[in-house]
Amino acid sequence: MSQTALVTGPTAGIGRSFAHQLAERGYDLVLVARDRARLEAEADELHATYGVSVEVLAADLADRAELATVEARLADAARPIDLLVNNAGFGLKKRFLDNTVDQEQAMLEVLVTAVMRLSHAALGVMSERGSGGIINVSSVAAFLPRGSYSAAKAYVNSFSEWAAHEYADRGVTVTCLCPGFTKTEFHERMEVGRGSAPDFMWLDADELVRTALKDHAKGKVFSIPSPQYKTIATAARIIPTGVLQKFQSLGRK
């Protein structure tokens, strides 16, 4: 029997790469995003290219009622999800007080609340049957002082690391992917140009997803693609916060 993966934010960037690479491996898919037209176009392409079954679930993860429909799909033991990829997310270009509190709340709902609730729904059925996996897309920003986005991703790191150890003996593998700047729509939507960070810091989405899937298959808790970001994550643990904070405008111009 084929396996099924549910991917949030699959119409662009890292999420789209996850959808295509998983389909190439024979996974049937459940795609979750706000834009139904883009979802359906992506579903048609995936089905035509790889011959897999693709289900579309249009939902705004910042809306609790719509989020609940995704939770219900994950909790449906009659239609099991073998792999959950919590990828959906967005960032805010401005500093904390330059954003409205509603903008900050919406980001928190997607980056933290949705990850927690969807993981809760998935872990329930996965641990019951003794198999399954979750990949939470975090960020190297989690190791750095970069406002509320960094704080949200730090939650994802901590939660993922705990869940990986808590549910390993129940057959569930949890991996936290921590990419850095990646060539996707993410920064374009923030109106941030590629010149906001040096060229060597920009990663290829397909390559980092390929690495993440290999790391997940090996049971790794953290997947930090590329040597430069492994170095940054390590250095962040010993460099004083005050020094790191001076570089928080990097990638925001």
Read off the pLDDT of residues 147-179 as tens digits, 9 standing for 90 and up: 899 999 999 999 999 999 999 999 999 999 999
**Residue 210, pLDDT above cutoff 70:** yes
By annotation, the residues acting in catalysis are 149
**Residue 215, pLDDT above cutoff 80:** yes
Which of these ranges, 72-86, 102-116, 195-209, has the smallest mean pLDDT? Answer: 195-209
Query: Helix H segments across the chain?
Result: 13-24, 36-50, 64-74, 101-108, 114-129, 147-166, 185-189, 205-217, 227-235, 241-245
* pLDDT at site 242: 58
- Rounded to the nearest integer, the mean pLDDT of the chain is 89
Structure token digits, residue 76: 């449906």
b/e string for 95-124 if b means 16 or more Cβ within 10 A?
eeeebeeeebebbbbbbbbbbebbbebbbe
Coil/strand/helix, residue 173: strand
* pLDDT at site 153: 96
* pLDDT at site 185: 59
**Which pLDDT band holds residue 229 (cuts at 50, 70, 90)?**
confident
* pLDDT at site 251: 45
What are the tens digits of pLDDT across the range 176-198?
999 977 666 555 565 555 555 65
**Residue 246, pLDDT above cutoff 70:** no
Largest CA distance in the chain: 53
CB 49 within 8 A of CB 29: no
CA distance 191 to 180: 17
Q: What is the pTM of this model?
A: 0.88
CA distance 197 to 114: 29
Give strand pairing partners of 5. Answer: 29, 83
Q: How far apart are the first and last CA of the chain?
A: 48
Instruction: Check residues 1 and 195 and name the one with the higher pLDDT.
Output: 1
* pLDDT at site 2: 87
Coil/strand/helix, residue 56: strand
**Residue 96, pLDDT above cutoff 60:** yes
